[in-house]
Amino acid sequence: HAQNTMRDVALCRRTTSSSHQEDVELAILPCRSGPLDPHIEALIDNFYEGLVAKHKVERERLEKRPATPGFLLKWNKQEVYLNDEKRRSAVNRTRKHLERHREWFRGSTKLDDETLASVVALQHLLDLDLEDLTLPRAERRTEDVFSGPGNNISEQLVLDGPRSFFLVNGEVFFFADEVAHSGLVMSEDAARVNSLEGEFVSRLVTAMLRSLGEEPSWVLVRGVSTCMSQSGLANVEKACESPQIVVGGGDQRVRFELRTVTQAREWDLQLSVHKYGFEHCIVCASAGVVMDDPSPIPCSSLSSIFKGCTVRFTVPVPGSEAVESDVLELRSELKIVDEEGNSLLAPHLRPRQHARRFAQFCRRCFRCFGRCFGKSLGRWSTCGQGTRRIMGAACRALTRLCRSRRSSRKVDDFEDLESGAPHAYSGK
C-alpha cells in the first residue's frame, strides 16, 4: 500500500520551467479518480435514504407542534435531508471523502460494510459541525457556545477539560494527576481546586492555539476545540450506532491528542473513550433508542468498550478561513462477556431474546418429534399432538420465568438516555 501511495504521488508531479525546473506537487489527494464502485454508491444511497425517511417523520411531528422548544434548530437540521439541494451537497461531500480513501474498498485495508457506514456517518456529522460554524444564525442547527480568547473556544472543552487526558504536540495535560501531586483534597480545598481548574484550562487552550499556528482562523479554532471535547465523542457514539451500550459503574478514560502534521496547514486529532470495570449494562438498538427490555443485565468486570477515531483538519489555502475535516480512522471495540468469558452480544441478538430463541428451538424440536411420532404410530398421533401441546406450554413458561427473573434485577443510578448518546456514570 505504501508503494502504491508513493507511485500515486510520483505520478501527480509535473515539471514546470522558469529560471530552473522544479517538481510541483499538484495533488493533495490521490490521483486515482473515476466513479466509486456500485456497492459503495449503494451504501451512500442507503445511508441518506434512511436519514430522509427518519426526518420526514420528525418533520410531520414538528409541524403539528410549532411551539416545540428549539423548533428552528430542529427544522434547520431536517432541511439538510428534506431540501434537495442541501442533501445533494451533503452526498457530494460524502462521495469526495470516500474517493480520497479508495484503499478502504479492497485488499488488506478493506473495511466491512458496517465499519464503512460508521465512517460515512462520522464524516457527515463532522462536515455538518464545520458548516454550522459559518452559517447565519437563522440557519444554524446547533446552539454551541464559545468563550475564551476571541470567543472561539468551545464551552464544552472548558467544561470537560479537567476530566480528560490531553496530549498537545507531546505536552501532557491531565488535571487529575496535577491535583494528586498538589496534595489537595476536594472536600477540604474546593475553592483552591476550582482555581486550579481554571488555570489548567487556560494552559490547555494556550497550548492548543500555539499548535494551530500564529494566527489561526476562527473557524479552525472553533472546529478543533469543539471536536476536542465531549461534542466530538458524541459524534463517534452516534456514528457507531449498533449496538449502543449504557454502562453502570466502572471507570472510563477519555483521551484527546492533537498533533501538528504540516505547520499552519494540517493537524491530526485523535479522540477516544475507554470504559471498563463495569458489572452491569443496558444494551440499546441504536443511539437514544432503548430496546423493549431496558433492564440492566449483569456482566463480567472484564467487559470493556472502546470507541475512538482520528480526524485530520486541513486549511486548503494557508491564511484562509476555509477548513476541511477528514476521518482517517474509526475504531469501535465492544467486549461484553459473562463471568465465564462468553460474549453477551451475539450478532443481532438482544439479551432478552436468548431465552426466547431457546424456547422457540424447543418448540420446533418437539413439533418435529410429534409429527414423526404421529406418522409412525398412525392412530397414536393424538399422543404426538399432546406432546407438542405440553412442550409448548413448558417452553412458554420458561420464557416467562426468564423474563421475570431479568426484570427483578435492579441497578440504581443509570443515566437518562434522553441525550441520545449513552455515557458512563459514576457507579457506587
- Give the pLDDT score at 295: 73
Please choose, from the candidates 105, 60, 102, 95, the residue with its C-alpha nearest in 3D space to the C-alpha of residue 78.
60
Judge if 52 and 101 occupy the same domain. Answer: yes
Residue ending a domain, among 304, 335, 366, is: 335
C-alpha–C-alpha distance, residues 341 and 362, integer Å: 25
Question: Do 29 and 89 reside in the same domain of the chain?
Answer: yes
pLDDT score, position 318: 85
Structure-derived torsion over alpha carbons of residues 370, 371, 376, 377, reported in degrees to the nearest 10? 50
Last residue of a domain, one of 283, 305, 335: 335
Residue 229 lies in a domain: yes
Domain boundary among 90, 110, 130: 110
Domain that holds residue 78: 2-14+22-110
Grid coordinates belonging to 145 = 457556545
For the chain, the domain total comes to 2
In tens digits, what is the pLDDT along the chain, a chain of 428 residues? 444 444 443 333 333 333 333 333 333 344 445 789 999 999 999 999 999 999 999 999 999 999 999 999 999 999 999 999 999 999 999 999 999 999 999 999 999 999 999 999 999 999 999 999 999 999 999 999 999 999 999 999 999 999 999 999 999 999 999 998 888 887 788 889 999 999 999 999 999 999 999 999 999 999 999 999 999 999 999 998 767 888 989 999 999 999 999 998 999 999 999 999 999 998 876 544 445 556 788 999 999 999 999 999 999 998 889 999 999 999 999 999 999 999 988 654 444 444 444 455 555 665 666 565 555 555 444 555 555 566 556 656 555 555 444 444 333 333 333 334 433 333 33
> In angstroms, rounded to a whole number, what is the distance separating the alpha carbons of residues 324 and 129?
11
Residue 208 lies in a domain: yes
Whether residues 80 and 161 share a domain: the answer is no
**Locus of grid cell 409541524:** 63
